[in-house]
Amino acid sequence: MRTIVAVIIGLSVIITGYVLGKAYNYKFNSQNTVGVMGGAEHYFSADLVVWSAAYSRTNFALKDAYAALKSDEQQVRAYLEKSGIADSEIVFSAIVIDKQYQYHYNEHGTVTSTTFTGYSLRQTVKVSSRSIDKVEKISREITELLQSGIELSSEQPAYYYTKLSDLKIQLLEKATQDAHLRAETIAKNANSDLGELKNASMGVFQITGQYSNEDYTYGGAFNTKDREKTASVTVRLEYELE
């Protein structure tokens, strides 16, 4: 019986020592790492603008509404081409047709009958161009089309950058260099040297309006309303310390 007790005690001591040793090693290793954040920003201008406008025609006869809308399309195309926009940069959407009705109500507010009042046809024109100045001017000065009787509703231009993939790579490189420099500075001041890289992760890529107070978002801001923009990204690196 004493022998069995001695064996159990001996095993307990061994296991306890092993567990304590592992805990010590884990604590030692976890305390000899440094985690840093690096960041990079880049100011740039959009090189592509997308502008859309919609117009419509209403008539009791479908063919008359369609003819009027096609006439509007020809005038819009001619105006854009006269303003320096290439035909390849202009896209007209399919025509959307809606039937319109007048609703009749009783004293309780319930619809009792409807009367057909005609057809409403709607079409959108979209311009995608690198001639940003020209498109901006067109979006602001559409009085010529309005004066010709076209009911044109203009949207705000949207601005894009076609070399975004290259920009992301450049920013990641700069952010990584920034993080590495921070880690080296911390290690030097702690009388240590940087060891192996243990972990690396990229933060969210953000595009905001330049000099704006636009907030970052969890999924990444993607500003299209400003021509001048700021791109930013963060990188987190974790190194062993030697």
In one-letter notation, the amino acid at residue 12 is: S
Q: How far apart are CA 109 and CA 1, in angstroms?
A: 96
Whole-number pLDDT of residue 31: 60
CATH number attached to the domain at 32-45+163-241: 3.30.110.170
Residue keyed to tokens 């700069």: 174
The beta-strand segments (E) located in 132-187 are: 152-154, 158-160
| Between residues 143 and 53, the one the model is more confident about | 53
pLDDT in tens, 2-31: 455 444 444 444 444 454 454 444 444 446
What is the arithmetic mean of pLDDT over 222-240? Answer: 95
Closest CA to 160 of 92, 111, 229: 229
Whole-number pLDDT of residue 17: 47
**Which CATH architecture is the domain 49-157 placed in?**
2-Layer Sandwich (3.30)
**Residue 200 phi, psi (nearest 5):** -145, 135
For 38-52, 124-138, 183-197, which range has the lowest pLDDT when averaged over its residues?
183-197
Domain with CATH 3.30.70.2970 in the chain: 49-157
Share above pLDDT 90 across residues of the chain, in percent, rounded to a whole number: 72
Using alpha carbons only, give the angle 62, 96, 153 rounded to the nearest 5 degrees.
105
Domain with CATH 3.30.110.170 in the chain: 32-45+163-241
Q: How far apart are CA 13 and CA 176, in angstroms?
A: 47
Joined together, the tokens standing for residue 68 give 């009027």
pLDDT in tens, 143-156: 888 888 898 999 99
Q: What is the pTM of this model?
A: 0.78
What is the arithmetic mean of pLDDT over 213-242? Answer: 91
